[in-house]
Structure 1
Amino acid sequence: MILLPGNASPGDMIRSDDGTLWVTESALAAIAEIAPSGKVTQHPLPRDGGLLPAPADLQESPDGGIWYTAGDQIGRLGPSGKFTWWSDSYGAPGNGPGASADGPGFPDALTLGPDDTIWFDHSDRGSKVFSRADAKRGLDRITRLKTQFDVGAGGMALGPDGAVWFSQKNEYGAKQHEGIGRLTAEGDYKKWPLPKNSAPNDIVAGPDEALWFTDRRSIGRMDTDGGLTHFPVHGSKYPSDIVLGPDKALWFTTDHRVGRIATQGKLKGKVILWPVRGAKNLTALVPATEGSFWLADRDTATLLRFTPPG
């Protein structure tokens, strides 16, 4: 177990190839770096006098940096600990190359796109916008949609078809407020509606050429043609993070438990849940070594090591 500051409120977490963990600390406006030795280094996010930059989503970049979204800010934490960032606060463009007065417009989710740049969603005058971020070239708009909806941290992933897929909820003015969206490198957008009150959350590409996502009471699966299947998670409050495990199954967090769902074979869709001792509100998990996982717990401000039984 690794203790973070008591008010850290850890959320998203990723693990680098060298075993380093990176964790958002929304209440501290910081990103924690945890070395394999267990040493914790705090990286307070830069500020320009505007809103508190509460980090939400993380993504490792091919160049070794860590990208993040935080309030009205998107940025990159480089291997040396230096930040490059863009912000909307008070019209300030931040200090990133190519930054303009338009800014990133309150970004939510981000992912590594098909062109090896960071793709992210944000708002602009009542519309949903998707843009690219590059540490050297700055921000570049992909497309602007004539609608507004929430994506949320972790709700965007590169699909097996080379397009970016994302969860949609609270779509303003739509008959169906929930859905799964798809965006190509050319800016072509399509949405598949979900059942009412699904509230889709995190999304990940599975090993079966499909997209898997968590929602209010289940794990959803959508193939690249839009075929949808739901697998209930009985007694769950709200499945949250979902990742591909080393066993080619998908693993997820839900309240104080870790779940596993099979993606292939006769057991496809079978869900198993394990309670985690000492856990209260698990927000993220990442595969570690030898079949174990690191878990982030928001309520206890701890990182827990979990090994599934048997």
Structure 2
Amino acid sequence: MSITEFVVADPGDGPYGVVVADGGVWTTLVRSGVVARIGEPGRRFDLGAPGSRPSVIVAGPDEAVWFTRNGDDRVGRIGYDGAVSEVTITGAPYGLCVGPDGALWCTLMNTDEIGRITVDGQVSTYPIGTTGAFPAMITATEDALWFTLNQGNAIGRMTLTGEVTTYPLPTPAAGPVGINAGPSGVWFVAIIAGLAGRITPDGKIEEFALPSGSKPHAVVATPGGGSWITLWGAGAIARLDADGNVAEQHNLGEDSEPHGLTIDTDNSIWTALEKGSLAHLQP
């Protein structure tokens, strides 16, 4: 596995989310209120709001990237034509995904809700039914949304009509954060307990131990039934096979602090490093 780094920001800017879209790689700079794109052409989009905290970024269904701004209660949009816009949604939006209905769905950390935003800017919110649960990341399957409850120590499932089922984790106070749906189930990681897990559509949960001190943050499922995970505490990225075993691990350097990650069309991996760069892992 070869690793190439692309510097996109000063270390204090904090690259956070990452997505491949429109022939380039996009990242949010959480500490400076900027979204950057590498590729041809490379561009920087200053949101004009340094405290906006752009975080999770996804490719939308409408020739645009969308991203949460949990510092100022907005979800932003940048069209592939360069047009920048935003939608206001109260509650500190953080996790974001495209739902099976073609809308954008986000977690609202401070209000214990899930938000829905259509591509034309219509907003709806749905309570998760648990107070103080701190919903974090969110992912979509063909019929539902799945999300981590960081302080609720559980995985939530919401139908497109807002019905919620909650599945407590076997490990107490695990601190689930990242989540991503794959062919073998929905993968998640718990940053406090240092574990990865997988939940099936009927709610069965398996947990898998990770190296001590790893503090896993984000996860993306692979076509083969496994997953890639950023090990924020260890400054590394790891691949788990379909049985939950650590198949490989790659160090990204001291103080790299990897956060978001995504799989490219060629199955290579991109991850955002808080030290100011994007790392590209290729076979």
TM-score (norm 2): 0.75
- Does 2:91 correspond to 1:157? no
The residue aligned with 1:39 is 2
Q: Secondary structure at the match of 1:58?
A: strand
1:223 and 1:52, CA in 2 relative to 1: closer, same or farther beyond 3 A?
A: same
Q: Deviations over 1:167-199 (max 9, x none)?
A: 0022xxxxxx22111111221111112311110
Q: Deviations over 1:234-262 (max 9, x none)?
A: 22421111111222x11111132211111
- The 8 Å contact of residues 75 and 93 in structure 2, kept in 1 or not, is answered as no
The residue aligned with 1:65 is 24
TM superposition shift of 1:41: 1.5
One-letter amino acid of the counterpart of residue 45, structure 2: W
Residue 241 (structure 1) aligned to one of 178, 184, 202 = 178
The residue aligned with 2:14 is 54
Distance across 1 between alignment mates of 2:51 and 2:61: 20
TM superposition shift of 1:144: 3.2
CA RMSD of aligned residues (A): 2.5
Q: Secondary structure at the match of 2:135?
A: coil
- The 8 Å contact of residues 109 and 135 in structure 2, kept in 1 or not, is answered as yes
- The 8 Å contact of residues 70 and 92 in structure 2, kept in 1 or not, is answered as no
The residue aligned with 1:261 is 199
- The 8 Å contact of residues 109 and 120 in structure 1, kept in 2 or not, is answered as yes
Where structure 2 has 5 or more consecutive residues not aligned to the other structure, the ranges are: 246-283
Larger Rg: 1
| Number of positions where the alignment pairs a residue of Structure 1 with one of Structure 2 | 236
Distance across 1 between alignment mates of 2:13 and 2:160: 35
Distance across 1 between alignment mates of 2:215 and 2:52: 29
1:117 and 1:233, CA in 2 relative to 1: closer, same or farther beyond 3 A?
A: same
Distance across 1 between alignment mates of 2:233 and 2:66: 30
Q: Secondary structure at the match of 1:234?
A: coil
- The 8 Å contact of residues 108 and 135 in structure 2, kept in 1 or not, is answered as yes
Within-5 A mapping of 1:1-310? 38-46=1-9, 52-61=12-21, 63-70=22-29, 71=31, 72-78=33-39, 83-87=42-46, 105-122=52-69, 128-141=73-86, 143-145=87-89, 147=90, 149-152=91-94, 155-170=95-110, 177-194=111-128, 195-207=130-142, 209-216=143-150, 217-236=153-172, 237-247=174-184, 249-254=185-190, 255-263=193-201, 268-278=202-212, 280-288=214-222, 290-307=224-241, 308=243
Where structure 1 has 5 or more consecutive residues not aligned to the other structure, the ranges are: 1-37, 89-100, 171-176
One-letter amino acid of the counterpart of residue 98, structure 2: L
Q: Deviations over 1:38-61 (max 9, x none)?
A: 2222212245xxx92101111221
Q: Secondary structure at the match of 1:202?
A: strand
The residue aligned with 1:21 is none
Q: Secondary structure at the match of 2:239?
A: strand
Percent identity (aligned)? 26
- The 8 Å contact of residues 109 and 151 in structure 1, kept in 2 or not, is answered as no
TM-score (norm 1): 0.69
Distance across 2 between alignment mates of 1:128 and 1:55: 20
- The 8 Å contact of residues 63 and 80 in structure 2, kept in 1 or not, is answered as no
Structure with greater contact order relative to length (CA < 8 Å, sep ≥ 6): 2
